[in-house]
Amino acid sequence: MDLDVRPITPGEADLFVRTVEGTFGDHPRPEEIENELLVLEPDRALAAYDGSEMVGTAAVLSMSLTVPGGRTPMAGVSDVGVSPTHRRRGLLTELMRRQLQDIHDQGEALAGLWASESLIYGRFGYGWAAFGGDARIERARSGFVDPATGDGRVRLLDRDQALPAMRAAYERALPGRPGMMARSEVWWDYVLFDPEHRRDGASASFFAVHEGSGGADGYVIYRIKRSWDEGFPQGTVTIEEMVAGTPEAHAALWQYCFGVDLVTEIRAFNIPVDDPIRWRLADPRRLRVTLFDSLWLRVVDVPKALAERRYAVEGSLVLEVVDPFCPWNEGRFELRAGPEGAVSSRTEAAADLVVRAGDLGATYLGGVRFADLAAAGRVSEATAGAIGRADAMFSWSPAPWTAHDF
Ligand SMILES: CC(C)(COP(=O)(O)OP(=O)(O)OC[C@H]1O[C@@H](n2cnc3c(N)ncnc32)[C@H](O)[C@@H]1OP(=O)(O)O)[C@@H](O)C(=O)NCCC(=O)NCCS
């Protein structure tokens, strides 16, 4: 077999999308290909070829990620697939190796992705950095302890009317929540793509915007699935995305969703792990939440990544990083950091903590504790107290959350 991994040509973008969708078991429709091409950067798309045949794919989408106390470029890894005819022969491994080298050469300190299966990316140094919750509650059990009483109003708008308000609300929320990614106009178009065959019998999206005293500060995108049983309404509201920049917007938007008539259940596809909705409910156990892994992060340049975020408290640490897949990251790095900034560089000093690259990725956004990883035998302490020190420095509030899959 004559296998080769190389960047695609611009003329192969369409074939690239059809190839990757095929690896997911899909025959994409023309409008789906068009939607993928909105965000594809052909010069950052790699393919594996068997002779002239495209048999594997992996793309980078240039993104900007909110990190604790700041914002940094992130290589968004997407469109990863290997044709069923060529699996388990190391093609993904070759694509990942080449892609991480390219990302490193490009100067991005972080790569991130949503994984189709959680078994795939740990071996390439990715760690589970952000969580989402699939939530559901019966409408009859959704009463608040204190009903929302803010002065704002919720407006139900069509997509084009809602878009400027949603963009404004998203921009307000963006700097405060690690894991959120900046959304350009094309990304909004990508995210709002809503073909009928993907709705599973539910309505097209509805858009409700909250306007507070300072203007649009939150929104919810949801759909309704209508259902009747012997004359009784049994509908479902599914929240596709909710962003609330203020506590008033949060309370008003949830209360709005709980108030939709002809509905017995409210579901939300991806709520933050620390979403305060639980604490608003009078009967909180009724909100059932299943956690899933959303953003996986890969530290591509250790000292650069460490210096690009802020830390909860002042402190210093020497981290020994184990990273056989990206050997340029291996070794010891000193971190001197605090709420105002951080510096990091290679050092010969003795290590305080020994950590694998993937576990550093997991802790990077402040949502995973070194202590939990140590309890699972994944991180080890070389200096007494280092794990506690690292957790005090790295942990962050609010918890990381990523609004959309890519
Ligand atoms: C996931 C996928 C890209 C893997 O491609 P591949 O070329 O078969 O992967 P490799 O041969 O490089 O595998 C590397 C290692 O990962 C393991 N692995 C890879 N994918 C795996 C999976 N889905 N389940 C279990 N193990 C997997 C391999 O067994 C191999 O392990 P080893 O080194 O111990 O032998 C391919 O199975 C695929 O296209 N799946 C469907 C689409 C998809 O899920 N894409 C990922 C999107 S996030």
| Atom nearest to 115 CA in ligand 1 | 48
Averaged pLDDT, 22-31: 97
Averaged pLDDT, 376-396: 97
pLDDT of amino acid 26: 96
Give whole-number Cα distances, 194 to 63, 113, 305, in Å: 22, 22, 35
pLDDT of amino acid 1: 66
Task: Considering the candidates 16, 121, 126, 258, report the single residue annotated as catalytic.
Answer: 121
pLDDT of amino acid 12: 98
pLDDT of amino acid 288: 98
- pLDDT range class, residue 2, cuts 50, 70, 90: confident
Across the beta sheet with 341-346, the strand order is: 341-346, 331-338, 315-322, 353-356, 380-381
Q: Which of 1, 24, 87 to mutate to test the pocket of ligand 1 (most atoms within 8 A of CB)?
A: 87
Residue 17 or residue 148, greater confidence: 17
* Residue 348 in this model has a pLDDT that exceeds 90: yes
Kind of pairing, strands 296-299 and 110-113? Answer: antiparallel
- pLDDT range class, residue 46, cuts 50, 70, 90: very high
- pLDDT range class, residue 149, cuts 50, 70, 90: confident
pLDDT of amino acid 148: 82
H/E element holding 372? helix 370-375
pLDDT of amino acid 123: 98
CA gap 308, 364 in Å, rounded: 10
Task: Determine phi and psi for 250, rounding to 5 degrees.
Answer: -60, -50
pLDDT of amino acid 47: 98
Annotation says 406 is catalytic: yes
Task: Considering the candidates 190, 258, 394, 406, report the single residue annotated as catalytic.
Answer: 406
* Residue 150 in this model has a pLDDT that exceeds 90: no
Is the CB–ligand 1 distance for residue 119 below 6 Å? yes
